[in-house]
Amino acid sequence: MPRLDATDLRERMARDLPGAVLEAVPLQVAAAPAHGPQPGAFMTSDTLVAPSRLVEAACYLRDLLGYAYLSDIAVVDYLADDLFELVYRFYHVEGGEGLTIKVRIPRDHPEVPSLTPAWPGANFHEREAFDLYGIVFVGHPFLRRIYMWDEFEGFPMRKDFPKQGDKYIGADE
């Protein structure tokens, strides 16, 4: 059973894919509580990869390290830092802990290369991220809304999406 942790992965990727691994910057999580201590900075221990090298890094995980099972793609909207973070989670088929790589992209230009051509399992994950967060996956074969209807405007999971009184409900109701 392979035993790689985040530190090993960062070292290996820094050696084999020079320039792909970025130095993680602590994140300010938004939404400070009304009272009580202010939340501290949030420092990830996972590997942060440059968006342009994402496909390369993912294929490195699969083809050289054997982490072939892409379990999950999650998007987090860090409004205070003005960025989206994408969390890709990979597992080895023989078991053991998974490896996580993260990608940070600016909120005003949310573009990232698609994994779907290399990894068909990413298809619905990416469509969901596009639908709810408006992340554009360049190279996705069928990037359409998956939950909301096609004419829907806006991306409902973004932190700045209005929670009340949108045009579909009506102002007075």
Partner 1 sequence: MLKTEELQINIGPQHPSTHGVFRMIVTVDGETITDLKPVFGYLHRNHEQIAEQNTYLQNMPYTDRLDYFNSMANNQAYAMAVEQLVGIEVPERAEYLRVMMVELTRILNHAGALGFLINDMGMWQTQLAFGMREREKILDLFESASGARLMCNYFRFGGVVRDLPPDFIPRLKELLQAMPAFVDELERLLRENEILMQRAEGIGILPRDLALAYSVSGPVLRGSGIPYDVRKAEPYSVYDRFDFDVPVGTVGDVYDRFLVRIEEMRQSRRILQQVIEQLPDAQGGHINPKARQNVRPPVGDVYARIESPKGELGFYLVSDGSGKPYRYKVRAPSFINLTPLGDMCRGYKVADVVVILGSIDIVMGEVDR
Q: How far is CA 146 from the centre of its chain?
A: 17
Helices within the chain (DSSP H only): 6-16, 54-63, 123-133
**CB 36 → partner 1: shortest distance, Å?**
8
In angstroms, the CA 98 to CA 69 distance is 9
**CB 147 → partner 1: shortest distance, Å?**
4
* Binding status of residue 89 toward partner 1 by CB under 8 A: yes
**CB 19 → partner 1: shortest distance, Å?**
26
Pair of tokens at residue 135: 């992340």
* Binding status of residue 54 toward partner 1 by CB under 8 A: no
In angstroms, the CA 48 to CA 19 distance is 11
Triad 133, 98, 43: Cα angle to 5°? 60
Q: Which string of x and - marks every residue 12-51 that binds partner 1 (by CB under 8 A)?
A: -----------------xxxxx---x-xxxx-x-------
CA distances from 49 to 34, 69, 83 (A): 34, 19, 14
Q: Which string of x and - marks every residue 114-143 that binds partner 1 (by CB under 8 A)?
A: -----xxxxxxx------x-----------
In angstroms, the CA 130 to CA 109 distance is 13
Candidate residues 93, 108, 162, 171; the one interacting with partner 1 per rule CB under 8 A: 93
User: Is 3 or 15 the residue whose CB approaches partner 1 more closely?
Assistant: 3
**CB 91 → partner 1: shortest distance, Å?**
7
Helix or strand (DSSP H, E) at 164: none
Residues that bind partner 1 (CB under 8 A): 29-33, 37, 39-42, 44, 68-72, 74, 76-77, 87, 89, 91, 93-98, 100, 119-125, 132, 145-149, 156-157, 163
